[in-house]
Structure 1
Amino acid sequence: MTAVEQAPAPAGKTDGSFDALRAQLQQAASDFADGPDALEGILRGIVDDVDRAVREPLEIFPVCHHSPASAVAMARRLREKQPRTVYLELCEDMAPLLTELRNCRLPVAVQAYAGDVDGFPPEWAPLSVVAPITEASAEYQAIAYALDTPGVELVLVDRSSDHVFQWQARDSRTAGPDGGRGKGTGPDAAPAEEEAALHGDAVGVEIGDLRPRFAELEEHLLRHGRVRHWSEWWHQYVELPLGDSDHDTYRQVMLLIGSLFRRLAPGDAERVGVDEDRERYMWTRMREHLAASGADPADCLYVCGAFHAASRVAEFGVAGSDGFEITPRSASTWQYGLIPSSHTAIEAQFGLAAGSVSIAAAQWAKNLRRTRVQPFRLAGQAGAKKPAKRAAAAAAAPVEGAVRADRLTGFLQRPPVLDRLDEAELLGWSVDIVRAARRAGYLASTADAIAVFETSILLAGMRDRARPTPYDFQDAAVTCIEKDTVPGRRDVRRLVEIMMGGDRIGQVGYDALPPLARDVHDRLAPLGLKLQQRGVQRALLDMASQPELSACSDVLWMLRHLMPHGTARPIMGERRLGERPIQESWDVALGTHQRALVELGYEGVSIEQVLEQRLRRAAYDPKATTATVLQAVEDATLYLRSRRLADELGQRALEVLATERSVDGAPEVLRRVRGLLAYYRTSEPVLPPWVEAFVTTGYAHYCTLLPTAFTDEDATVAQVAAMLGFLFSMESLALSLGCDRTQLELSFAQSHPQEPARVALLWAAKVRLGQLTRAELRARCDDLLGNPLVVPAYPRYLSGFLHALEPVPQLADFVVELVSSAFARLPDPVLLPWLPTLIGTLRAGGAELAPLLIREAGRIFPARLADLDTWVPPWLAEDAPAAVPLPAAGAGGGAALLAEHPAACDALAELLGCEEGWAPAGAGAPGLALAGRHPQTAEALAALLTV
């Protein structure tokens, strides 16, 4: 037994309207269950639920979401009853936005959005609730009637969007609240397409979620109904019979179905508790409104889902108890807007079969033609016709008390109506699907059209149907046309859905957009594009001849940064620091991503404000790194041209850098700091204070981390090379700002790497510092090639030298020399197995630096093949220094002058590397010998001493 079944029986006595039905069900229960037991209680309880709802003074109108039968019955009942107050099961806080529906093309969804949450888990943010509305829905008929009829009040009575998540948190559930099964989570989930994502990750709430919650019951209905999924069962056994039924029959049948599904639901205490709380909430709100307005319940209409219409809570009815306490809303800030929706998005979010909403729309049009019911449409809505006169509608109002007559007995005993075959309609379907299949690449012919026609009739007969339904026709088309493969983008099932009505995609009108979205449309108006139109449009911007288009370029670049990929995509042109483009070309799809633009409007009144907020949020995020903050600084300069914001974020980058203890972002930091320095040096008279502080702090920071990084296994060679690049490229500026070069020398003295690539990187850095000469480095590399035990690791040394081109680009020719020497010296048995390792190492470890190496090799090696035989490598063309005869002491020239000043000669010898002392003339004095080797230097020094 569920909690619903254990509830007390409704108070009051029945009027005997359903006594005959009770007796029949009791007899049936006795026959099938061998005596009165639980089955009899369930069957009699269903009748009691119907009787209770029918006798309620405030008329309850049960509906099912996106049901054409519900929409037709609603339109008919509104014209008959003409209620003065309409209570609608929809989030009460969405009421102010409903008037904007007249500025939209359906289907659209009413959205409540909270970006900043207070009172909910932070990981839930942002919170979003959507309520899709289609023309073939009962709620739209009620909204259109109430908004366009003078003197009629529309009151939304369901829980607020905030309470949707409050109750979700209370039940500790992560799935979507009732009604919203999430994107494609149902068994009939629609295919994932672009249109299916129009609602994003929002929680869906919808009036009239009517589906068995008892899996065995749904399986039983599908099996015995000979259908594939729930949407087809509902279309065949509920939509068609109720499509042209009278109001009383429709109402009692929907109440019966709602009570049946409610009583046969599994005993999920959390789900049952939410359902009952929703009913208590709605009846409490209705009684509050009745008491405040003094409205007569007889002049009111309560539109709710059939599942909630058969309620047994104590608060049910205008005479129910008032013990339910509505909790206050949280401190979260909710914003509201309209977003475009589509049939596919509705099917995906609520777990409906693909194409079911499109088929429902086609059925809605058929019902209107057959019943000649005049539907309600909001005046001024896109595609709306002039409303018909309603003066004669009051004469059709039913006699009071007629709604209490038992219509269920006759409906349940009536055999199914067998609609005769409409051959013209089926033949048209068959011809249209073959035509569509040909356009999609199928080899379909007239024979296939005949086969589809006959197969549809055959399948309908096998399923006890005289007239094929759209689902029978869909199965027949797939069987006869699709064969083995799908040649195009769409399969036959999708082609049938398009043919039956297609995936209608709604559009939010300009007047219904938030201020930010309207501002974007206004600022992009000079482009001359139809921004509301879906699809990609090309925009050409020639800022040289039309300077006013520069403002459009700024908007497009900000949209590219803020909106999903594809909203604004540059084809030609780029934005860099210090550069202003002359021409640009863009692909703009603003209409396709209208939902994202509307949600962007929830964050601010202009895109500049939203961009500034997001940059600050990214910079002050607890997980922000120096690289991400520097990116925010660059974006603030590029898109907003805000020196104030850039300086603020630059100070934040300085704070983050001082607290980092890893070098993971060193390459990105180096790249962005170089770009910002180059920009400020060319555009500003002096560097901003934060840049100077960042250079000095970064110099000391990386000097401290360098010894650890050389031996840290988690740090890559590229990261260590980036650190060295920062230290060497910023060294002159850092020293001019007060840094001490001793920090760097001590850091290298403490660095003792063991891994070959890091060892090579350290050697290259020491060459840059002057602690190692090229000759010494060449000698070390020659020793590596001469050691058979080290040759297998030589590619890793080369990888280190390749990464060293970032901090020490002057070694490009030396790296070419190392590679060439390896190819020249290693024998083929060693070189050939070693070559794949070399190529793989260089590609994996320094692919971005390879162009520099290739360019240097192109400069060194001969340009023509014929010159290769006589070509001598530059590193081999250097001859040994020739012996220079020593001049005699007292000889003229610079050497004689140096001989006369032995102290100065010895000082010069010591400076140039000769450590021996002075010797008399003729004894081979070091200074004199050195002067003989370098006569030009001796002459220059002699001239200096003469002066």
Structure 2
Amino acid sequence: MTGPTGDGATVRAAPNGVFSALRDQLHEAATEFADGPGALEGILRGMVDDVDRAVREPLEIFPVCHHSPASAVAMARRLREKQPKVVYLELCEDMAPLLTELRNCRLPVAVQAFASEVDGFPAEWAPLSVVAPITEASAEYQAISYALDTPGVELVLVDRSSDHVFQWQAPEAGPADEEALHGDAVGVEIGDLRPRFAELEEHLLHHGKVRHWSEWWHQYVEQPLGDSDHDTYRQVMFLIGSLFRRLAPGDPHRVTVDEDRERYMWTRMREHLAASGADPAECLYVCGAFHAASHVAEFGVEGSGDFEISPRSASRWQYGLIPSSHAAIEAQFGLAPGSVSIAATEWAKNLRRTKVKPFALEGQTGARKAKKPLPEPVAGLAAADQLSGFLQRPPVLDRLDEAELLSWSVEVVRAARRNGYLSSTADAISVFETSILLAGLRDRARPTPYDFQDAAVTCIEKDVVPGRRDVRRIVEIMMGGDRIGQVGYDALPPLARDVHDRLAPLDLKLGQRGVQRALLDIAGQPELEACSDLLWMLRYLMPHGAARPIMGERSLGERPIQESWDLALGTHQRALIELGYEGVSVEQVVEQRLRRAAHDPQATTARALEAVEDAIRYLHSPRLAAELGTRALDILATERTVDGAPEVLRRARRLLAYYRTTDPALPPWIESFVRTGYAHYCTLLPTAFTEEDATVDQVAATLGFLFSMESLALSLGCDRTQLELAVAQSHPEDPAKVALLWAAQVQLGRLTRADLRTRCQDLLTNPLTLPSYPRYLSGFVHALEPAPSLVDFVVETISTAFAHLPDRLLLPWLPTLITTLRTRGAQYVPLLIREAARIFPARLPALDTWTPPWLAEPIPTPTRPRATSSPSGVPLLAAHPATCDALAELLGCTGSWQAAAPSGVTLLTKHPDTALALEALLTP
């Protein structure tokens, strides 16, 4: 070990003298347990050599474990003693500018690098995200706080950049895929110290009598090192890092990445030392214990310098701070639930016991007040062998833990009663005693929080959980719970700050977690309409629940009057921050998202039309709507199936209705869309009728597009012959599609209703076609889409089916009918109910004598014989000459009145058929 002496000289320990006794002990142990020295001796002696090498390095290496209270306490103590001038930190070097923004946050938070558009990586990896979570009980936060708040101290991040994280990623692996508050970001952890293969971890957990790795670390590392001296802490951490490095070779790619990271960091440190002229004795290198005992040639200030750092890719990286939480850190790095909260409790406990003054950034939310001035630095001394004594020292029971255990036992009973458990003072006593008993059974000197948790579950929970929380969760909350950080306003990206500023009229605490209700009386306060527009865009962009409308809707062509919203922007702060990586305003991000959705290689016509609707609803942008509509037209021309016809029909109808009510003329793009769509679907119609993959709903929607857009298409230059030929060329075999074809022929006038009724009667009377008759009925129900005028005939066919079909055919068909009406109920059911109400009697007694109109005898139309002297109807029209003149002018008839005959007689004599028709029309 090296360090400054009183006169500035450097003291270095002898290479082999410090740990010679320990080497001898390990040699004897290897000989005894392995029947002679060999591989085991090589591992054990190699571990001591690793410790010796790391201790003797002139640039002091400080090994840490992430979120370890023991590491944080040791770091705070060492920084006050040594007061280094340069702190090298194992963190992505491109994240350095963000660290000063930690003053505006409440921990825990995560430093994030984000790239939405990639260049140089596989497109399926996008977006790229790297996060490095920081908590108060972490050694790196102590180092950051000391370096940023101490004048004359330089903080240098030396780990690979965020771009290199993905450059060194295995191509077949891709980015990580954990689901937590950090999303699918790749986690960068300082001090990643954990066994790399299952056998070693299983061995440690089994012989340590613990359930998971977090409990093993707490029992065998955290507690013994909580109040140890600096040399002991370093040597133990070096030993643990060397053990895991030698016994856990892991994936070859992972080993290569670990070694490249070490080469990268030592190369960066030597470059900085050469450029700044700093004395290695006045520097401190903070890294994970796994990387401290490194074997690479670049290790140390005297190492080789031939490692070449590759250039970064052309991807554009953006940086920011996002909220983190204990649960997110545990999920992202595979820690046991509640372990980070327990670490935070242990951190506070260690501070009280050791009286160490921690470092905290000035002005940080939730941090302690100003600190005392730093004392004079302590001269460095030669390191002695502390490992031998530490490994042989028996655990010591701390009396403070008994008092703490008693307070835990009382508090867990109180919390259990609040959650519905029938716990009492006796349960508190049993939890206390059971915790001590479990610790003894597990060969522990004192109960850990995990022993206490097991004891509480055993003594309180019994076999039922009366409330929402079980006892295990109650203990986790009592130990600190899931603390969630927050990024302050000043540290937010411009977009997030703009959102807060624009929603200021709502007078809400948007940074606060939880749900808040916002009431917008837009009719009384028109200035709130801008807030409404922004909230609808946030609802479109952010996860569900961030902005949820309770009252009000945003549809085409409608203006808001009153709205009510549930807002949880503080809870979803991370999503709001990441929007800032995509643009400088919410409108810009919405426009980019819409363009990206419409121009996606897998985009469909319906998806492009949806983007058109969103551009109108959210941005009120005719320019963007025309651009996206043109894209929808291009996609439509390339589609070879009618799979998207139902959605295309619904959206095209909505857009046409909107433009017809708001604009004096239709935009050119939608006229082109209707014209192209008419010809396109006419071309696809015969194939759709015969294809098995095309459903009845899709064929009905295709016909619906053709018939509902027919008048507009013909006015734009289309030819109705296209549709007539398409229907004539269609020869379906499926009964439902056959019914659709008949309905299309009726709509075109090629089939009369009498002929259609005759065909249905033939189906009912033919034993061969009777089983398939329900499928014909399903086709007629779908035919209401292209031919809504057939609703009376559909009611007739359904009624006839219920009257004539046997139960063995009718009952299996009913679920199909119900499903059809349920999926398309908004269109079909009102039509059918209204028509049935018109046809069927309104009262039940009248049903006995009621005859369906399609079974009633037709009433003959009376005809009057023509008179020879004068046409029928002359007296009536002669009595109303003004009416006669008006009708004659309307019908284009010319003539003059004659005095010899009644007024209008000469004219009507020339047109007897017209006279008869007018008489029938005007006669009551």
User: What TM-score, normalized by structure 2, do the two folds share?
Assistant: 0.91
Which residue does 1:574 correspond to in 2?
553
**Of 528, 547, 550, which residue of structure 1 is paired with 2:529?**
550
Secondary structure of the corresponding residue to residue 168 of structure 1: coil
**CA separation of 1:523 and 1:24: change in aligned 2, threshold 3 A:** same
Q: CA deviation at 1:607?
A: 0.8
Give the Cα–Cα distance (whole angstroms) in 1 for the partners of residues 423 and 434 of structure 2: 15
Give the Cα–Cα distance (whole angstroms) in 1 for the partners of residues 69 and 230 of structure 2: 14
Which residue does 1:294 correspond to in 2?
277
**Of 293, 296, 318, which residue of structure 2 is paired with 1:310?**
293
Verify: 1:400 aligned to 2:380, yes or no.
yes
Give the Cα–Cα distance (whole angstroms) in 1 for the partners of residues 241 and 313 of structure 2: 32
Q: CA deviation at 1:25?
A: 1.4
Which residue does 1:838 correspond to in 2?
813
Which residue does 1:338 correspond to in 2?
321
Secondary structure of the corresponding residue to residue 255 of structure 1: helix
Q: CA deviation at 1:577?
A: 0.6
Verify: 1:640 aligned to 2:619, yes or no.
yes
Identity of aligned residues (%): 79
Which residue does 1:73 correspond to in 2?
74
The answer to whether the Cα contact below 8 Å between 1:92 and 1:160 also exists between their aligned partners in 2 is yes
Verify: 1:266 aligned to 2:231, yes or no.
no
Q: CA deviation at 1:257?
A: 0.8
Verify: 1:803 aligned to 2:782, yes or no.
yes
The answer to whether the Cα contact below 8 Å between 1:803 and 1:846 also exists between their aligned partners in 2 is no
Which amino acid counterpart does residue 842 of structure 1 have in structure 2? L
Which amino acid counterpart does residue 336 of structure 1 have in structure 2? Y
Q: CA deviation at 1:880?
A: 4.7
Equivalent runs, 1:475-874 vs 2, <5 Å = 475-824=454-803, 826=804, 830-847=805-822, 848=824, 849-874=828-853
Give the Cα–Cα distance (whole angstroms) in 1 for the partners of residues 197 and 631 of structure 2: 56
Give the Cα–Cα distance (whole angstroms) in 2 for the partners of residues 865 and 634 of structure 1: 47
**Of 874, 885, 893, which residue of structure 1 is paired with 2:871?**
893
The answer to whether the Cα contact below 8 Å between 1:895 and 1:939 also exists between their aligned partners in 2 is yes
**Of 470, 484, 501, which residue of structure 1 is paired with 2:449?**
470
The answer to whether the Cα contact below 8 Å between 1:604 and 1:610 also exists between their aligned partners in 2 is yes
Which amino acid counterpart does residue 807 of structure 2 have in structure 1? L
Runs of 4 or more consecutive aligned structure 1 residues displaced over 6 Å after TM superposition: none
The answer to whether the Cα contact below 8 Å between 1:696 and 1:737 also exists between their aligned partners in 2 is yes
Give the Cα–Cα distance (whole angstroms) in 2 for the partners of residues 418 and 33 of structure 1: 34
**CA separation of 1:15 and 1:823: change in aligned 2, threshold 3 A:** closer
Secondary structure of the corresponding residue to residue 664 of structure 1: coil
**Of 197, 202, 205, which residue of structure 1 is paired with 2:188?**
205
The answer to whether the Cα contact below 8 Å between 2:87 and 2:286 also exists between their aligned partners in 1 is yes
Secondary structure of the corresponding residue to residue 15 of structure 2: coil
Q: CA deviation at 1:566?
A: 0.9
**Of 411, 414, 418, which residue of structure 2 is paired with 1:435?**
414
Which residue does 2:52 correspond to in 1?
51
Give the Cα–Cα distance (whole angstroms) in 1 for the partners of residues 44 and 16 of structure 2: 18
Which amino acid counterpart does residue 185 of structure 2 have in structure 1? A
Give the Cα–Cα distance (whole angstroms) in 2 for the partners of residues 436 and 493 of structure 1: 12
Unaligned segments of structure 1, at least 5 residues:
1-10, 177-181, 184-195, 897-930
**CA separation of 1:633 and 1:523: change in aligned 2, threshold 3 A:** same
Q: CA deviation at 1:608?
A: 0.5
Alpha-carbon displacement from aligned partner over 1:698-720 (angstroms, at most 9, x marks no partner): 11111111111111111111111
Give the Cα–Cα distance (whole angstroms) in 1 for the partners of residues 18 and 863 of structure 2: 132
Which residue does 1:7 correspond to in 2?
none
Give the Cα–Cα distance (whole angstroms) in 1 for the partners of residues 485 and 862 of structure 2: 92
Give the Cα–Cα distance (whole angstroms) in 1 for the partners of residues 204 and 440 of structure 2: 19
Verify: 1:173 aligned to 2:173, yes or no.
yes
Secondary structure of the corresponding residue to residue 474 of structure 1: helix
**CA separation of 1:320 and 1:851: change in aligned 2, threshold 3 A:** same
Alpha-carbon displacement from aligned partner over 1:723-760 (angstroms, at most 9, x marks no partner): 11111111111111111111111111111112111111
Alpha-carbon displacement from aligned partner over 1:884-932 (angstroms, at most 9, x marks no partner): 58668x5642699xxxxxxxxxxxxxxxxxxxxxxxxxxxxxxxxxx9x
Give the Cα–Cα distance (whole angstroms) in 2 for the partners of residues 880 and 122 of structure 1: 73
Which amino acid counterpart does residue 298 of structure 1 have in structure 2? A
Give the Cα–Cα distance (whole angstroms) in 2 for the partners of residues 223 and 720 of structure 1: 65
**CA separation of 1:942 and 1:850: change in aligned 2, threshold 3 A:** closer
Which residue does 1:191 correspond to in 2?
none
Secondary structure of the corresponding residue to residue 156 of structure 1: strand
Secondary structure of the corresponding residue to residue 256 of structure 1: helix
The answer to whether the Cα contact below 8 Å between 1:627 and 1:669 also exists between their aligned partners in 2 is yes
Which amino acid counterpart does residue 474 of structure 1 have in structure 2? Q
Q: CA deviation at 1:469?
A: 1.1
Give the Cα–Cα distance (whole angstroms) in 2 for the partners of residues 483 and 878 of structure 1: 79
Give the Cα–Cα distance (whole angstroms) in 2 for the partners of residues 757 and 895 of structure 1: 51
Which amino acid counterpart does residue 236 of structure 1 have in structure 2? Q
Which residue does 1:4 correspond to in 2?
none
Secondary structure of the corresponding residue to residue 806 of structure 2: helix
The answer to whether the Cα contact below 8 Å between 1:573 and 1:584 also exists between their aligned partners in 2 is yes
Which amino acid counterpart does residue 648 of structure 2 have in structure 1? V
Equivalent runs, 1:161-240 vs 2, <5 Å = 161-169=162-170, 172-174=172-174, 176=176, 183=178, 197-240=180-223
The answer to whether the Cα contact below 8 Å between 1:795 and 1:837 also exists between their aligned partners in 2 is no
Which amino acid counterpart does residue 160 of structure 1 have in structure 2? S
Q: CA deviation at 1:419?
A: 2.7
Which residue does 1:900 correspond to in 2?
none
Secondary structure of the corresponding residue to residue 376 of structure 2: helix
The answer to whether the Cα contact below 8 Å between 2:322 and 2:574 also exists between their aligned partners in 1 is yes
Verify: 1:107 aligned to 2:108, yes or no.
yes
Give the Cα–Cα distance (whole angstroms) in 1 for the partners of residues 754 and 319 of structure 2: 73
Secondary structure of the corresponding residue to residue 548 of structure 1: helix
The answer to whether the Cα contact below 8 Å between 1:376 and 1:387 also exists between their aligned partners in 2 is no
Give the Cα–Cα distance (whole angstroms) in 1 for the partners of residues 417 and 769 of structure 2: 67
**CA separation of 1:710 and 1:891: change in aligned 2, threshold 3 A:** farther
Paired residue total: 870
The answer to whether the Cα contact below 8 Å between 2:395 and 2:445 also exists between their aligned partners in 1 is no
Which amino acid counterpart does residue 623 of structure 2 have in structure 1? R
**CA separation of 1:175 and 1:417: change in aligned 2, threshold 3 A:** farther
Which residue does 2:916 correspond to in 1?
939
Unaligned segments of structure 2, at least 5 residues:
1-11, 875-907
Q: CA deviation at 1:619?
A: 0.6
Q: CA deviation at 1:870?
A: 3.3
The answer to whether the Cα contact below 8 Å between 2:13 and 2:56 also exists between their aligned partners in 1 is no
Q: Relative to structure 2, which stretch is displaced further, 328-337 or 865-874?
A: 865-874
Which residue does 1:254 correspond to in 2?
237
The answer to whether the Cα contact below 8 Å between 1:338 and 1:513 also exists between their aligned partners in 2 is yes
Which residue does 1:349 correspond to in 2?
332
Which residue does 2:262 correspond to in 1?
279
Give the Cα–Cα distance (whole angstroms) in 2 for the partners of residues 878 and 340 of structure 1: 78
Which residue does 1:322 correspond to in 2?
305
Q: CA deviation at 1:939?
A: 2.8
Secondary structure of the corresponding residue to residue 169 of structure 2: helix
The answer to whether the Cα contact below 8 Å between 1:421 and 1:467 also exists between their aligned partners in 2 is no
Alpha-carbon displacement from aligned partner over 1:75-133 (angstroms, at most 9, x marks no partner): 00000100010000000010000010110000000011111111111111111110000
Which residue does 2:882 correspond to in 1?
none
Give the Cα–Cα distance (whole angstroms) in 2 for the partners of residues 237 and 942 of structure 1: 109
The answer to whether the Cα contact below 8 Å between 2:263 and 2:307 also exists between their aligned partners in 1 is yes
Alpha-carbon displacement from aligned partner over 1:226-274 (angstroms, at most 9, x marks no partner): 2111111111111111111111111111111111111111353222111
The answer to whether the Cα contact below 8 Å between 2:196 and 2:250 also exists between their aligned partners in 1 is no
Which residue does 1:18 correspond to in 2?
19
The answer to whether the Cα contact below 8 Å between 1:887 and 1:895 also exists between their aligned partners in 2 is no
